[in-house]
Amino acid sequence: MTTTLPPHPPLEQYYSHPESREQFVRQIFDETAEWYDAIIGMLSFGSGNRYRYQALERAGLNAGTKLLDCATGTGVVARAALRVTKQVIGLDPSIGMLTAGRRVSSFTRVQAKAERLPFADESFDLLTVGYALRHFADLRATFEEYRRVLRPGGKVLILEITPPRTSFGRALLRFYLGNVIPFLTRLRTRNADAAKLMRYFWDTIDACVPPESILSALRDAGFESAKRHVELGVFSEYTATR
Ligand SMILES: C[S@@+](CC[C@H](N)C(=O)[O-])C[C@H]1O[C@@H](n2cnc3c(N)ncnc32)[C@H](O)[C@@H]1O
């Protein structure tokens, strides 16, 4: 029997009991959804959409690809994919994020969780996850679910931010993501929850299991050729084939 693999230990400064984590995450995304696209534009100096598109190209996206964008949020990865294929479904548990996304673009959206996908076996060619793996309850069970809905030969593409290995690099990223971005977010949105979301963003990155554990969990779930490609030292792209 394989044990569960939470992406990070409970963060008690945000919720008092581990069981409250899911509710906390749902609520903070619901309440800050209208600011999400503006915040990520600021975070990546406007390059986030281009980077997501390039990652999709590297994963082999083409006009015939049936894609599930898991944890689609407002649909940033899905929108990049729609430039190439029209067969895109976005999934997210936050009604706030789904509703904010609907105002910007139209594609099929489903309200559900990554851990329990409401799709038949072997439904998709590519499954993407943009900056959301840290919010799942258990990586192993989630990756098994991914394997189930991918057709044989189908691929998973997971985008994540990984702190640099050097203590200087980590301290720099901590200062930028943990202090500068929450401060700028507060200035831009005048919304305390949006700034809190960005602090939570860094704290989950800082506490996240290392890349080796993510790759092992993909292999444990039955994926082959699990690997990690890194851009600019911090942007991790995990890919694996069913
Ligand atoms: C940082 S946003 C990422 C949005 C988008 N993928 C992107 O690349 O910008 C994280 C998203 O994960 C979603 N999420 C949180 N828990 C989830 C779960 N258990 N299953 C699927 N999505 C989840 C949140 O609602 C939120 O929309």
Ligand 1 mean position to 92 CA, how many Å? Answer: 6
Alpha-carbon span 30 to 25, nearest angstrom: 9
Sorted by where each starts, the structural domains of the chain and their CATH numbers stand as 24-241 (3.40.50.150)
Looking at residue 166, its amino acid is T
- Per-residue model confidence (pLDDT) at position 46: 56
Within 6 A (CB) of ligand 1 lie: 25, 29, 40, 70-73, 76-77, 92-94, 97, 113-115, 130-132, 135-136
Phi, then psi, of 111 in degrees rounded to 5: -90, 110
- Say if pTM beats, i.e. exceeds, 0.85: yes
- Per-residue model confidence (pLDDT) at position 47: 61
Ligand 1 mean position to 73 CA, how many Å? Answer: 5
- Per-residue model confidence (pLDDT) at position 43: 78
Tabulate helix, strand, coil % of the chain (nearest 5).
45, 20, 35
- Per-residue model confidence (pLDDT) at position 82: 97
- Per-residue model confidence (pLDDT) at position 160: 96
Other C-beta atoms within 10 Å of 239: how many?
A: 20
Alpha-carbon span 22 to 196, nearest angstrom: 16
Task: State the closest ligand 1 atom to the C-alpha of 69, by its place in the atom list counted from 1.
Answer: 6
In this structure, the residue with its CA closest to atom 16 of ligand 1 is: 135
Ligand 1 mean position to 51 CA, how many Å? Answer: 18
Alpha-carbon span 39 to 14, nearest angstrom: 20
Task: State the closest ligand 1 atom to the C-alpha of 201, by its place in the atom list counted from 1.
Answer: 1
pLDDT tens series, the chain, 242 aa: 568 999 999 999 999 899 999 999 999 999 999 999 988 888 765 567 889 999 999 999 999 999 999 999 999 999 999 999 999 999 999 999 999 999 999 999 999 999 999 999 999 999 999 999 999 999 999 999 999 999 999 999 999 999 999 999 999 999 999 999 999 999 989 999 999 999 999 999 999 999 999 999 999 999 999 999 999 899 999 999 99
Q: How many CA atoms lie within 13 A of 174 on its CB side?
A: 10
- Per-residue model confidence (pLDDT) at position 215: 98
Task: State the closest ligand 1 atom to the C-alpha of 97, by its place in the atom list counted from 1.
Answer: 27
Phi, then psi, of 178 in degrees rounded to 5: -90, -20
